[in-house]
Amino acid sequence: MVWSSERTTPAQVEAALRAMLVERHGEHAGCIPARTLNLICVVDARSRAEITERLRGLGRRYALRTIVCSVEPRRTQIGAVATIGSDTHPRPGEFAVLRETVVLSVGERHLPHMESILDPLVVSDLPTVIWSPYDRDDAVRALLPLAQVVLLDSLREPIASAAIRRARGWLGRTRVVDLAWLRTAPWRERLAATFEPVPLRADLGRIREVTVRHHAGSAVAALLLVGWLAERLDWRLRPLRRRGGRLEGVASARRHDVEIVLAPWPSQRVEGLAGVTLEIGSGRRLSLDRAPGGLLAHYRDDDGEHRAWTLLGASRGETGILGEGIRQALLRDEVYDRAVAAAGTLAAER
């Protein structure tokens, strides 16, 4: 069901949504709005179709009320298209989840007043997440009183140090879910699993060198991964130095120094990490590299024996990353808070 108006008010949009829900429930008693959170997305009008398609790709896995605010610079009136729908018509005794979507067309003049505009449209007893994929920070700041979580993607910021500062700035005001951090999850999981066997745990205290290979525009992902390692292993960090296109430096472990290298990888065509290598003081060496279908692992023990295997299913794809970001909005990841603080030390200019 669809309702639209070129000139409207938030109260009228809310009334239209309520009327459609009542009508649909009257036609099919099993049609219910199953809600877990409100998602507010702020985009420029030219990007609206792209972002709406990404949200549609989430499918029926996420029960939420989605509000897309499409910003047109010279617009003076609020326009709206509200829809509700489900993938199935329930048979007797069955239920169908109704998804609710509102696309608001607003102008630059409306941005300072976004809290009062959207307040009638969010379901008040649900968590609210703000996502601005193209960094409309002015609108996000105006909406903070309504929200509990800001969803961001630090890879969108071309300067890694600026991305880390921005993430830390939002952390000072609200909870943050960072898609750049979630993209490192397969690497963190595999590294942690490698050292899970008791005989290998001592090697965590013998790491001598960490090399992270990354897409040319994804240094922030490498910083977050090393920040996570440093925070978990209690390394004392100093700012990295730029040498050529690489970032290099030294961290202090309990009994030795750890060399850190973050290197752009020319063959990496997609955003994110290309590989990570850990050199252990005992002579062991672990390397993970992106490969079709997962991560290719190489392990050399202290006798020089080499093994290689593939870890399947490491990538979720962009739709999966966005879906995981929405899921994480319902959780609390304090590890990210500490990892981004450590990354801020690594990225600090000196």
Residue 124's Cβ-side half-sphere holds a number of Cα atoms within 13 Å equal to 4
Q: Are 341 and 227 in contact (CB under 8 A)?
A: yes
Q: What are the phi and psi torsion angles at 123 (to 5°)? A: -80, 115
Q: What are the phi and psi torsion angles at 63 (to 5°)? A: -95, 105
Q: Residues 6 or more apart from 305 whose CB is under 8 A from it?
A: none
Instruction: Go through the domains of the chain in sequence order and give each one's CATH number.
Output: 2-147 (no CATH), 183-347 (3.30.360)
Element holding 227 (H helix, E strand) = helix 219-233
CA distance 263 to 102: 43
pLDDT at 61 (0 to 100): 60
Q: Is 91 helix (H, G, I), strand (E, B) or coil?
A: coil
Q: Are 106 and 81 in contact (CB under 8 A)?
A: no
Angle at CA of residue 244, ends 204 and 261, nearest 5°? 0
Angle at CA of residue 91, ends 86 and 93, nearest 5°? 110
Q: Residues 6 or more apart from 141 whose CB is under 8 A from it?
A: none
Amino acid present at 148: Q
Q: Residues 6 or more apart from 299 whose CB is under 8 A from it?
A: 194, 284, 285, 286, 287, 306, 307, 308
CA distance 240 to 257: 14
pLDDT at 319 (0 to 100): 64
pTM for this prediction? 0.90
Q: Are 13 and 82 in contact (CB under 8 A)?
A: yes
pLDDT at 323 (0 to 100): 87
Q: What are the phi and psi torsion angles at 110 (to 5°)? A: -85, -20
pLDDT at 276 (0 to 100): 97
Question: SS3 for 107-142, per residue?
Answer: EHHHHHHHHHHHCCCCCCCCCEEEECCCCCHHHHHH
DSSP-derived secondary structure for 296-339:
EEEEE-TT--EEEEEEE----HHHHHHHHHHHHTTS--HHHHHH
Exposed/middle/buried for residue 100 (C-beta within 10 Å: 0-12, 13-18, 19+)? buried
Q: Tell me the pLDDT of the chain (350 aa) as tens digits.
A: 999 999 999 999 999 999 999 998 888 777 888 788 999 999 999 998 888 888 887 766 666 899 999 999 999 999 999 999 887 777 777 888 888 999 999 999 999 999 999 999 999 889 999 999 888 899 999 999 999 999 999 998 889 999 999 999 999 999 999 999 999 999 999 999 989 999 889 999 999 999 999 999 999 999 999 999 999 999 999 999 999 889 999 999 998 999 999 999 998 888 899 999 999 988 899 999 998 878 899 988 878 889 998 887 666 666 688 888 988 888 888 899 999 999 999 998 64
